[in-house]
A and B are shown apart, each in its own frame.
Chain A
Amino acid sequence: MVTLRVNGEDRQVDVPPDMPLLWVLRDVIGLTGTKFGCGIAQCGACTVHLDNQPVRSCQLPVSAIGDRAITTIEAIGQTPEGAKVQQAWLAVDVVQCGYCQSGQIMAAAALLARVPNPTDRDIDTAMSGNICRCATYVRIREAIKQAATGQQHGLQVVVDGSAA
Chain B
Amino acid sequence: MRRFLIIVVVLLAVGVGAYFFLNRTDPDDGTAPVLAGAPTNADPVARGEYLTTAADCVACHTSHDGGKPFAGGLAFKLPFGTIYSSNITPDKETGIGTWTDDEFVRAVREGIRKDGKHLYPAFPYTAYTQLSRADVLAIKAYLFSLPPVHQPEKPNELGFPFNQRWAMGFWNAAFFRSQRFQADASRSPEWNAGAYLGGPLGHCAECHTPRNFGFALKHGEALAGEVVQGWRAYNITSDPTHGIGKWSDEALTQYLRTGHAEGHASANGPMGEAIAYSLQHWKPEDTAALVTWLRTVPAREGDDPIVVDAAPKAMVASSAVAPGGDDGKADAEGLRLFEGACASCHQWNGAGQQTAYAALAGTRGVNDPKGANVTEAILEGVKMRIGDNDVYMPAFGHAYSDTEVAALANYVIRHFGGKQGEVTPADVAKRRAE
Task: Contact check, A53 vs B321: say whether CB atoms are below 8 A apart.
Answer: yes
Complex CA–CA separation, A16 to B389 (angstroms)? 10
**Residues of chain A in range 91-136 having any CB-CB distance to chain B below 8 Å:** 110-111, 114-115, 122, 124-126, 128-129
Annotate B229-253 by CB proximity to A: 1 below 8 A, 0 otherwise: 0000000000000000000000000
**A10 / chain B contacts, CB cutoff of 8 Å:** none
- Complex contact B321–A124 (CB within 8 A): no
A55-B354, A56-B344, A129-B344 known; A61 and B394 CB under 8 Å? no
Q: Which residue of B lies closest to A61 (CB)?
A: B389
B 344-358 binary contact with A (CB < 8 Å = 1; else 0): 110000000111100
A75 at the interface (CB under 8 A from B): no
Given A53-B353, A56-B354, A41-B339 contact (CB < 8 Å): no
User: A162 at the A/B interface (Cβ < 8 Å)?
Assistant: no
Majority SS at the chain A contact face: mixed
Q: How many B residues touch A, CB cutoff 8 Å?
A: 20
Query: Footprint of B on A, CB under 8 Å?
Result: 16-18, 40-42, 44, 50, 53-56, 59-61, 63-64, 110-111, 114-115, 122, 124-126, 128-129
- Given A42-B394, A44-B344; A54-B354 close (CB under 8 Å): no
Tell me, in angstroms, the Cα distance from A90 to B340 when the chains sit together.
26
User: Told that A64-B354, A126-B322, A129-B341 touch, could you supply 19 new A-B pairs with CB distance under 8 A?
Assistant: A17-B389, A18-B389, A41-B394, A53-B320, A54-B321, A54-B344, A56-B345, A59-B355, A63-B388, A64-B355, A64-B389, A110-B321, A114-B322, A124-B339, A125-B323, A125-B339, A125-B343, A128-B340, A129-B340
Within the complex, the shortest CB–CB distance from B48 to chain A, in Å, comes to: 30
| Assembly CA distance A66 to B340 (angstroms) | 27
- Cα distance A60–B336 when bound, in Å? 24
Cβ of B99 within 8 Å of any chain A Cβ, yes or no, is no
Chain B contacts for A17, CB-based, 8 A: 388-389
Q: Could you tell me if A122 and B340 are in contact, using CB atoms closer than 8 angstroms?
A: no
Whether B171 is near chain A, meaning CB under 8 Å from some CB there, is no
Output the least CB separation between A14 and chain B (Å): 15
| Chain B residues in 8 Å Cβ range of A64 | 354-356, 389
Complex Cα distance, B298 from A22, in Å, reads: 48
Q: Is B390 an interface residue (CB 8 A)?
A: yes
* Chain B residues with CB below 8 A from A41, complex form: 344-345, 354, 394
What are some 5 contacts across the A-B interface (CB < 8 A)?
A: A42-B394, A44-B344, A54-B321, A128-B339, A129-B344
Chain A positions within 8 Å of B344 at CB level: 41, 44, 54-56, 129
B394 close to A40 (CB less than 8 A): yes
Asked whether any CB of chain A lies closer than 8 Å to the CB of B76, the reply is no
Kindly state whether residue B392 has any CB partner on chain A within 8 Å: yes
**How far is the CB of A75 from the nearest CB of chain B, in Å?**
20
CA distance A63 to B387 in the complex (A): 12
Question: A18 and B388: CB pair below 8 A?
Answer: yes
Assuming the contacts A42-B341, A44-B344, A53-B353, asked whether A122 and B389 have C-beta atoms less than 8 A apart, the reply is no
Q: Bound state CA distance, A128 and B388, in angstroms?
A: 32
A56: chain B residues within 8 A (beta carbon):
344-345, 354
Across the interface, which residues of B come within 8 angstroms of A63, CB to CB? 388-389
Task: For the complex, give the distance between the alpha carbons of A54 and B320 in Å.
Answer: 10
Which residues on the A side are within 8 Å of B356 (C-beta)?
64
| Most chain A CB inside 10 Å of its own CB: which residue of B320, B354, B356, B394 | B354
Please, which residues of chain A bring their CB within 8 A of the CB of B354?
A: 41, 55-56, 59-60, 64
The 5 closest A-B pairs by CB, nearest first: A40-B394, A129-B344, A128-B340, A17-B388, A18-B389
Separation in Å of the A118 CB from the closest CB of chain B? 10
Q: Report the minimal beta-carbon distance from B259 to chain A, rounded to whole angstroms.
A: 15
Residues in A neighbouring B343, C-beta threshold 8 A: 125, 129
CA distance A125 to B331 in the complex (A): 14
Contact B321 A129 (CB under 8 A): no
Complex CA gap A16/B385 in Å reads 14
Taking a contact as CB atoms closer than 8 A, the residue among A42, A50, A122 that contacts B322 in the complex is A122
| CB neighbours of B392 from chain A (8 A) | 40, 59
Please give, as numbers and ranges, the residues of chain A lying within 8 Å of B321 by CB-CB distance.
Answer: 53-54, 110-111, 114, 126
Q: How far is the CA of A16 from the CA of B390 in the complex (A)?
A: 12
Contacts of A42 in B (CB 8 A): 341, 394
For B322, B341, B356, B390, which residue has the most chain A Cβ atoms within 10 angstroms? B322
A129–B389 CB distance below 8 A? no
Q: Complex formed: what's the CA distance from A111 to B343 in Å?
A: 14
Q: How far is the CA of A59 from the CA of B393 in the complex (A)?
A: 9
Give the shortest distance, in Å, between A61 (CB) and chain B (any CB): 5
Smallest CB separation, B318 vs chain A (Å): 10
Residues of B within 8 A of A16 (CB): 388
Chain A: CB-nearest residue to B336: A128
B280, chain A: closest CB distance, angstroms: 15
Q: Which of B320, B322, B353 contacts A125 (CB 8 A)?
A: B322
Bound Cα distance from A55 to B355, whole angstroms: 11
Q: Which of B384-417 contact A (CB under 8 A)?
A: 388-390, 392, 394
Q: How distant is the Cα of A54 from the Cα of B394 in the complex, in angstroms?
A: 19
For the complex formed, measure the closest distance between the CB of B405 and the CB atoms of chain A, giving whole angstroms: 16
Instruction: Closest B residue to A114 by CB, please name it.
Output: B321
Query: Contact: A61 with B353, CB < 8 Å?
Result: no
Q: For the complex, give the distance between the alpha carbons of A53 and B321 in Å.
A: 8
